[in-house]
A and B are shown apart, each in its own frame.
Chain A
Amino acid sequence: MKPSAFEYVRATSVDDAISALSQHGDEARLLAGGQSLIAMMNTRLAEPKVLVDIGRLSDLSYIRVDGDALSIGALTTHNTVLQSAEVAAHCPLVSAAYANVAHHTVRNRGTLGGNLCHNDPASEMPLVASLLDAELVLRGSGGERRVAAEDFFVDTFHTAAHADEILTEIRFARQGAGEGWAFEVVSQLKGDYAIVAAGCRFAMVDGVCRGVRLGFVGAGPAIKRVAAAETALEGQPVNGATIAAVAEAAVGAVDPHADMHADVQYKLDLVQALSERVLKQAASRAV
């Protein structure tokens, strides 16, 4: 048997899970779809003493429009989000990015909440949550709180969730009608983790971009939105000169690390190329 031994607790409700977490402290880990955690346990990168399985909490699996937000339960599987017409209608950026998250079989079990809490630096959805000003709803022994995506993703494999807290819901801001948006990924194989990905959105008002959100995956351990690149486009039209300025600002601000897939220069080239690609595509969608 590959993982080290642990005690298994199947939670019957969110409160049940919170009390198990409070009881076992740092020794316990939540288990959702298991598509990241069990892989880490099989290689003993993770050796929790207690696993609290929340995989059956079906009341945390839902997708609903809630005023200006699209609310998705943390236990909603990747494939459920990807196939949802509601998600495609209100947050097309989520659907477009999700098409690149893992492979079909992994998507059957992996969950949105597990993906965000895992916070792999090569993962698409943490960036999407930042671009869509998402709020993450956390419940723990101290009650419920909401954390903005900007504050939630602290560092590689590290989030603002406390050890006794469960992410219950993700509230994405609904995209405005006619806004420009795009998401592009370069990976070795579709469904593998991104080498570099880029996403952006903005409103086109009187021919210039407003409310610009632009960011990257794979461009640095804790880098998501890149303020310098956003500023370079704010209040500007999308044309050859502004695209070049945005790409230059992005390349100057990111800090990619070499890995087995690509060296630093290759990743910088991807930041440049993907900046251009997402801006052109977003501009063609904006009305």
Chain B
Amino acid sequence: MSDILVRIDGKEVEASQGMTVLEAAQSAGISIPTLCHHEKLEPFGGCRLCIVEVQVGDWMKRVVSCVYPVEKNLIVRTRSEMIDKIRKMILELQLAHAPDSPELLDLAQEYGADKDRFDKEASFCIHCGLCVRYCDEVKKKNAVGFVDRGIRKEISFIPEIAAKECWNCKECFPLCPTEALQAAFVLTKSLTSPPLSHEPSSEE
């Protein structure tokens, strides 16, 4: 497939068909903030933090770069007053859920987001889906999944699978931008340990 030329923040970038704007930017060393993106996983488009402005001809729109495919003559702006404002708002909303997340706090500083802007609703999880998707797509264990929806959506381990698989893996822990994942796992562990206290580390 022939290369596609796009312009990101004034820089000519060569991309190939099927690449996302985020990938093209990253290949040129241009950084776009992300929370739900992981190179090993399918694009998800959940956190919306990677929002950018794209322009084809006279037509400008805002898209999330981690799912938006490159196209010919695309002009991308990764920062603008509006984009920064949107990112600030997203961060402030997420910080209401996970006020102590170091990753969010770093970003908040960059975008001038006030972590106390909204009333705290400490659910800790920001629904980035990294843990759920990693366990599914990479590890193929599906030990953890989402339950419920909307404001009640949360992650939940399947105790039987977690008891068998998670002790030795825990690869999702460092992916989590908040502490929610670990907390959920500790909870599951405490619930499953009475009957399954023989840690089946040798079984696998």
**Does A associate with B in a complex?**
no
> B residues near A, CB below 8 A?
none
